[in-house]
Structure 1
Amino acid sequence: MSLILNIETATKNCSVSLAKDGITILAKEIAEQGYSHAEKLHVFIEEVLKETNTNFQELKAVAVSKGPGSYTGLRIGVSAAKGICYALNIPLISVDTLQVLARKVNIEEGIIIPMLDARRMEVYSAVFDKNHTRMMEVQAEVLSSESYSEIEEKAYFIGDCQEKCKTVLTKDNFHFLENIIFPSANEMSILSFQKFNNQEFEDVAYFEPFYLKEFMLNAKK
């Protein structure tokens, strides 16, 4: 039995789940306009463990959403995950934030394009097929009317920047799933379990979130 604690703080959604063998047992989350991660994260961790009658010592690993996303949110989540892993001497697992978001969508045909807001018309994006297999690596891009113009199949856009995306992404085969906004620790469960089984662990001392900082620096020039 593999009990894994999942932490997702890359966006305004502060989310924690406990999973057993890849299936979520309990999740707690809240998405607020003002980031409340510093106040809520450790409370959610304690509540999830208490309500499932789980002790910290029973955890086999901690998984954290690695980004891209909010600099502050990522730092808070990674710091908490590292602290628990170091104290318990258990593995640290990192999961791609956009992959977590993509798993909130189930489609029969087409592709899934998760996007997270960066600033102005900039987004963090990736592309996944209907089986949630990555087709394009995570990138930072400035959206325009030419973005994804080569795509002819159905494309489902999700994330927290859909309103601004709609102003430039107007092809008839583009669909916006307005109710799917933030990634959640609930969808991390199967991904972290797969990495646990494959022993894809991070170095607790040296692991850093994936900020896409180089793009941000270049954009300022």
Structure 2
Amino acid sequence: MASEKIYILNIETATKNCSVSIAENGVTLLCKEIAEQGYSHAEKLHVFIEEILEECNLTAKNLTAIAISQGPGSYTGLRIGVSAAKGLCFALDIPLIAVDTLESFARQVDKTDGLIVPMIDARRMEVYSAIFNSNHEKTRDVEAEVITEESFNDIKENIYFVGDCSEKCKAVLTKENFIFLENIIYPSAKQMSQISFDKYKKNDTVDVAYFEPFYLKDFFMAK
């Protein structure tokens, strides 16, 4: 059992980044992704899945489970990713794993101090965000919040901000302990690998028929 190979296909479509990875026992083997101004998920997602399996010398039948980034994020992007994941799970009769988008996003930050705040743009000065410590443990749950000069003022330690809304947030979040890591823009399927593997080992899966993405806001408010 110790030598069993668990292959999980990870799908991340919550933002403009269309990202797919394949992982063996929690280690990313290969990732394909593209972030374009116009959402290209419908055109790219299935192509990436086919290419990634072929390049890893695997077939869909080798997959143990599918993991999907559950949101929050773009309504359209989430729908496309979830539909693809559900279709594969039904066809292959394998489990579906839901991964918190902001948790996997936070894992791109490798710091030994302070807090991590991944943010996804939600129109105007609003963002979807959560707070994690340097061990990537969530210390404040996901919120849709309007960023003002008062935001995060009660936190004295360093805060590392990542996301596609850094430019607009930098204008109001100006304290010395506010640090923007501008090279980290979108969540990626790379960081889903360990999370989805840990969930699989705990049998932490979702119902393929009834699972819905975590939109956080109503459709008419989504970007």
1:169 is matched with 173
2:57 to 48, 53, 63: 53
1:73 to 63, 72, 77: 77
Instruction: Point out the more displaced range, 64-73 or 207-216.
Output: 207-216
Kindly provide the amino acid, as one letter, of the partner of residue 38 in structure 2.
G
TM-score, normalisation: structure 1: 0.97
1:88 to 85, 92, 109: 92
Cα offset, 1:125, TM superposition: 0.2
Structure 1 CA distance for aligned equivalents of residues 52 and 196 of structure 2: 17
Quick check: 1:140–1:215 contact (8 Å CA) kept in 2? no
Q: Kindly, what percent of the aligned residue pairs are identical?
A: 66
The size of the alignment, in residue pairs, is 218
TM-score, normalisation: structure 2: 0.96
Cα RMSD (Å): 1.2
Kindly provide the amino acid, as one letter, of the partner of residue 123 in structure 2.
R
Cα offset, 1:91, TM superposition: 0.2
After superposition, the C-alpha distances for 1:81-126 in whole angstroms (9 at most, x for unaligned) are 0000000110000101111110000001101000000000000000
Cα offset, 1:185, TM superposition: 0.3
Kindly provide the amino acid, as one letter, of the partner of residue 20 in structure 1.
E
After superposition, the C-alpha distances for 1:29-48 in whole angstroms (9 at most, x for unaligned) are 00000100000000000000
Q: Which sections of structure 1, spanning at least 5 residues, go unmatched? A: none
Kindly provide the amino acid, as one letter, of the partner of residue 71 in structure 2.
G
1:150 to 138, 151, 154: 154
Cα offset, 1:148, TM superposition: 0.3
After superposition, the C-alpha distances for 1:13-33 in whole angstroms (9 at most, x for unaligned) are 000000000000011000000
Structure 1 CA distance for aligned equivalents of residues 57 and 15 of structure 2: 28
1:160 is matched with 164
2:47 is matched with 43
Q: Is 1:23 aligned to 2:27, yes or no?
A: yes
Quick check: 2:17–2:188 contact (8 Å CA) kept in 1? yes
Q: How does 1:68-217 map to 2 (within 5 A)?
A: 68-214=72-218
- Secondary structure of 1:171's partner? coil
After superposition, the C-alpha distances for 1:127-159 in whole angstroms (9 at most, x for unaligned) are 000000000000100111000000100000000
Quick check: 2:75–2:219 contact (8 Å CA) kept in 1? no
